[in-house]
Amino acid sequence: MSERREGGSVKLSDITDSTVDALKSFGAFATDTVQPTVRLGVTGLSRAGKTVFVTALVRNLVGDGRLPFFPAHAEGRIERVVLEPQPDDDVPRFRYEDHLDGFARERPVWPEGTKRVSQIRLAIDYTPRSAMRRMLEPAFGRARLNVDIVDYPGEWLIDLAMLEQDFAAWSARALAAGEAPHRRDAVASFRDFVGSIDADAALDEAVAQKGAALYTDYLRASREKEPALSTLGPGRFLMPGDLEGSPLLTFFPLPAGADAGSPKGSLRAAMERRYESYKTLVARPFWRNHFCRIDRQIVLFDALAALNSGPAALGDMSQAMTEVLKAFRPGASTLVSRMFQRRIDKILFVATKADHLHHTSHDRLEALARTMADAAIVRAEFAGAEVRSMAVAAIRATREAEAEIDGGSLPCIVGTPRKGEKVGDTVFDGETETALFPGDLPADPARLIRGDEGELPAGAHDVRVLTFLPPRLTLETPGGKRPAPPHIRLDRAIDFLIGDKLA
């Protein structure tokens, strides 16, 4: 990731960043030579199910998961999987045990969403397929693979696109996004405020604070109205932590001025300076300390929630994923890249909550996920990365059934909707198990994203997206078994991500 000043001159920080990245890559290569390690990044927009995905992945490997399509597990070659201390002492540990306890309650609950970067390490002892490698075990020890899983807030993803934009470009895109029909109500107060001020007048801190507050209110209202549309940033405006109230979070987009310059001491100059400080002190360290060290990337998104919000939401989500992946370093993993500049050699796009649809629609959900991320996938494949898309439910909260209606059979899902969820005039009590026809996906997902609703059969994108209560998990049986929650295609996802490392 680099920036250039006008005229093409390179910043000193670019050279420094490249040197630091190369040193980190070489250090990681030296460590991997002694103890092979693969670092998985788990990313996605807000409410895509990142925490649930990581919890389920760990439990299925550490516990007694059913993973028939993960060959290393199905063939009995995995001897032991244990949790190890994570390698980075300055990164909080992923709260795996706390999340398990939530699933084991009398009334199980989904875990809270990701609010900060966290990490967990698995150590997998396995028997290699290679006879030569097995012969070397007495001399070099048991084959072991460390798997470091890094989970981070979806809101912070949006900041990565800012690294390629100056203040003027970011402002233009942010203001243009507010003109979309589905955002006009939320942005109204902020738009009126921006229209009433002189950005080239002397900085008034009260004006800056009011503008930042109105812009934050707009971001929050957009997310609350349409949870799938967490595509606006900066991400820390919605999750400020200890930065709340600081100048780093006291800026907002402005319309272009009469000329390219920003008068010294003006509001515009201050907003531009704070924007650049945000990139330098917040966005860039997040990218450097985590993204440039990723080997393989999981990108989760809730395509069904976006689908429920209409074609505009699908288009927004697709655009957001494309912008985010511009910050990645996709490419084939070679000796040189592992030594000096690590590359993401596998990217998995996961359309989550597949259990909200009947299995007859899963192929169409995967096609929708592939279409939504098409531009990003093309870029990654061109760079040499292996890319795949899947429809997955990391923890299955429903089961399938058939309902007899008017002499015909209707495919349904059965689960317990969360209290307060609604379908039509029906409000669920959070206690009653319900059979529900989830709706159908069209055969051509591109038509949904284009918004060709007039060509679609009635109700083709009317997918009912509810929040179902999770299944209750038994932490350990009297016989010492550690059951894992039911899932859909999680084993295929695991095999794609690390299966080749266990050959």
Q: What is the pLDDT of residues 410-434, one digit of tens each?
A: 889 999 999 999 888 889 999 999 9
Distance CA 485, CA 472 (A): 8
Contact between 162 and 229 (Cβ < 8 Å): no
The per-residue pLDDT for 281 is: 93
Distance CA 331, CA 451 (A): 33
Residues 6+ apart with CB under 8 A from 500: none
Q: What is the pTM of this model?
A: 0.84
For 176, the enclosing helix (H) or strand (E) is helix 167-177
The backbone torsions φ and ψ at residue 148, rounded to the nearest 5 degrees and listed phi first, read: -100, 120
Q: Minimal CA–CA distance to 364: which of 440, 437, 436? A: 440
The per-residue pLDDT for 240 is: 83
Using the structure block, give the residue that is written with the tokens 């999981």.
298
SS3 content of the chain, % helix, strand, coil (to 5): 45, 15, 40
Residues 6+ apart with CB under 8 A from 218: 178, 186, 187, 189, 190
The per-residue pLDDT for 137 is: 60
| CA 442, chain centre distance (Å) | 25
What's 64's DSSP letter? B
Strand 399-405 with 143-151, pairing? unpaired
The per-residue pLDDT for 139 is: 53
The per-residue pLDDT for 330 is: 67
Contact between 159 and 184 (Cβ < 8 Å): no
Q: Is 8 left (phi over 0), alpha (psi -120 to 50) or beta?
A: left
For 132, the enclosing helix (H) or strand (E) is helix 131-135
The backbone torsions φ and ψ at residue 240, rounded to the nearest 5 degrees and listed phi first, read: -75, -30
The per-residue pLDDT for 55 is: 97
Q: In the chain, which stretches have pLDDT less than 70?
A: 1-34, 46, 131-141, 225-231, 258-261, 324, 326-327, 329-341, 375, 379-382, 448-463
Distance CA 487, CA 445 (A): 24
The per-residue pLDDT for 4 is: 38
The per-residue pLDDT for 333 is: 56
Buried b / exposed e across 119-137, counting CB within 10 Å, b at 16+?
Answer: bbbbebebbbeeeeeeeee
- The amino acid that residue 382 corresponds to is F
Q: Tell me the CA distances in angstroms from 437 to 272, 404, 418, one per residue in order.
A: 51, 11, 17
The SS3 assignment for 493 reads: helix
Q: Give first-to-last CA distance, the chain, whole Å.
A: 33
Contact between 467 and 305 (Cβ < 8 Å): no
The backbone torsions φ and ψ at residue 120, rounded to the nearest 5 degrees and listed phi first, read: -145, 145
The backbone torsions φ and ψ at residue 127, rounded to the nearest 5 degrees and listed phi first, read: -100, 120
